[in-house]
Structure 1
Amino acid sequence: MEQGRLQTLDRGLTVLRLLAESADGLKIAALAERLGVHRAIAYRIVNTLADHGMVHRLAGGRIVLGSGALLLGARAEGNLRALARPVVEALAERAGATAFLSVAQGEDGVAVLTAEPRDTFLNIHYRVGTRHPLSRGAAGIAILAGRPPQDDDPEPVRRARADGYSLTRGELQAGAVGVSSPVPLSREAYPTLECSLGVVALDGLDIDRAVAAVPAAAAELAAQLAG
């Protein structure tokens, strides 16, 4: 434990992170093992978190995130949009195309923020809430490219990881060209947040302009989120 850190708070936050990373929740014994503490200590930490609505006990004994944690997550997503908005708007102007921020939700990528350039009339209107499989489209492939390499990664993901951006044509809409880059976030600071930043336009998209602007904007947003 580093000097200046509160051990109990550190353990409580670790429990929240472990539960956020677990699709089905964890039992007290598993939490105790991962924390390296006695079950009684893990039980007290869970009780305290439950009193604040941060975790919830299911009938089978598994612990999952509670409504309090979900509320914090919703507020965090709102803060993400507020921090990202100037970056997304500036990217739209630099690339001369509709810009968007997507986040991973399960096996899908979901657009949470979009912006259109002021002086371009033939924009693709990319709606907030638009959802696509991560395996299709520039945004999803970029999110996959931001993950640690896997032996079974498809070629588009490998190429996007090597290039620093994904480039797709017509995968989600006929005539549309998309360029996206993963936002390189610290896994320690953002263990469950995966997002990409990109642009989309019709065939007239200036590819050279986009592939210069998109990775730079993704790096800028990562720096903003790092504080």
Structure 2
Amino acid sequence: MSKTLHHGVAILEVLARHPHGLSTSDLADAVGVHRTVAHRLVRTLEAHRLCRRDDTKRVTLGTGLVTLAEPVEQDLRTVARPVMEDLAERTRATVHLVLRESASEVRALVVVEPRNAEVHVAFRPGQVHALDRGSAGLAMLAALPPVPGERPEVETARERGYAVTRGEVVSTVYGISALIPRRRGAPLSSIGISVFEIDDERALATAVAEAARQLGTLLH
């Protein structure tokens, strides 16, 4: 790998976890480089509008990232949002669209919170967690051929057409997810809900599966 590029990306990742900004010294400590190196990296990122410094010299993410992020799965995000909003209102639950990012990780691409629920789960888009933890990843694994040593929950999801987990991504929170059928070669993705309690698993799972099928139809 390019060490310089690695450190530059690491700075962006640190800033994503600190939306109110950090000093260059703080960034140097967080990334593990000398302050002079951190200063040069920040200046380079500034030149591409990927970060910026305010009047107090605190560094935050820049608007150039918006331009870079806009084309990422644009069709999927555009088509998915109204379907997700409808699912959120029907289930009174937080809805998440998750994409397989690597052999071992998934990332939340879009999160929609319900407007008609007194209490709901809240988390940010962009969060990453293990493929084999949480309903979103298990729904994706269930779409693949069985492998030795896979979790029993994957086989259950394969039989049911949806995955259910509790407390694997967020403590005490249930997740129900279903795979989104997509064209060959597209990354595996799933749509699901996060709730504190499940009163009627079948009804919620049916709503999630219907949303997944609807998205699959719209994307083909």
Instruction: Encode CA deviations 1:170-220: one digit per residue, 9 max, x unaligned.
Output: 112222011000112232xxx141100000011255423211100110000
Q: Which runs of 5+ in 2 are unaligned?
A: 1-66
The residue that corresponds to 1:149 in the other structure is 146
Q: Does 1:221 find its partner at 2:218?
A: no
Instruction: Encode CA deviations 1:88-142: one digit per residue, 9 max, x unaligned.
Output: 1111111110001000001111111111111102110121001110100111111
Q: Does 1:200 find its partner at 2:197?
A: no
Q: Does 1:98 find its partner at 2:94?
A: yes
The residue that corresponds to 1:84 in the other structure is 80
Q: Aligned partners of 1:162, 1:204: CA distance in 2, in Å?
A: 20
Cα deviation for residue 155 of structure 1 reads: 1.1
Residue 166 of structure 2 aligns with an amino acid whose one-letter code is: R
Cα deviation for residue 153 of structure 1 reads: 3.0
> Which of 133, 138, 142 matches 1:136?
133
Is the Cα–Cα contact under 8 Å of residues 146 and 184 in structure 1 kept in the other structure?
no
Q: Does 1:174 find its partner at 2:171?
A: yes
Cα deviation for residue 154 of structure 1 reads: 2.3
Q: SS state of the match for residue 193, structure 2?
A: strand
Q: Does 1:125 find its partner at 2:110?
A: no
Q: TM-score, normalised by structure 2?
A: 0.64
Is the Cα–Cα contact under 8 Å of residues 112 and 128 in structure 1 kept in the other structure?
yes
| Matched-pair identity in % | 36
Is the Cα–Cα contact under 8 Å of residues 100 and 126 in structure 1 kept in the other structure?
no
Cα deviation for residue 86 of structure 1 reads: 0.7
Q: Aligned partners of 2:95, 2:107: CA distance in 1, in Å?
A: 14
Is the Cα–Cα contact under 8 Å of residues 97 and 205 in structure 1 kept in the other structure?
no
Residue 130 of structure 1 aligns with an amino acid whose one-letter code is: Q
Residue correspondence of structure 1 range 13-32 to structure 2 within 5 A: none
Q: SS state of the match for residue 132, structure 1?
A: strand
The residue that corresponds to 2:111 in the other structure is 114
Cα deviation for residue 148 of structure 1 reads: 3.0
Deviates more, 1:132-141 or 1:87-96: 87-96
Instruction: Encode CA deviations 1:68-99: one digit per residue, 9 max, x unaligned.
Output: xxx99962512210111111111111111000
Q: SS state of the match for residue 117, structure 1?
A: coil
Q: Which runs of 5+ in 1 are unaligned?
A: 1-70
Q: SS state of the match for residue 110, structure 1?
A: strand
Is the Cα–Cα contact under 8 Å of residues 146 and 183 in structure 1 kept in the other structure?
no
Q: Aligned partners of 1:99, 1:162: CA distance in 2, in Å?
A: 23
Residue 73 of structure 2 aligns with an amino acid whose one-letter code is: E
Is the Cα–Cα contact under 8 Å of residues 95 and 206 in structure 1 kept in the other structure?
no
Q: TM-score, normalised by structure 1?
A: 0.62
Residue 86 of structure 2 aligns with an amino acid whose one-letter code is: A
| Count of aligned residue pairs for this structure pair | 153
Q: SS state of the match for residue 112, structure 1?
A: strand
Residue 156 of structure 1 aligns with an amino acid whose one-letter code is: E
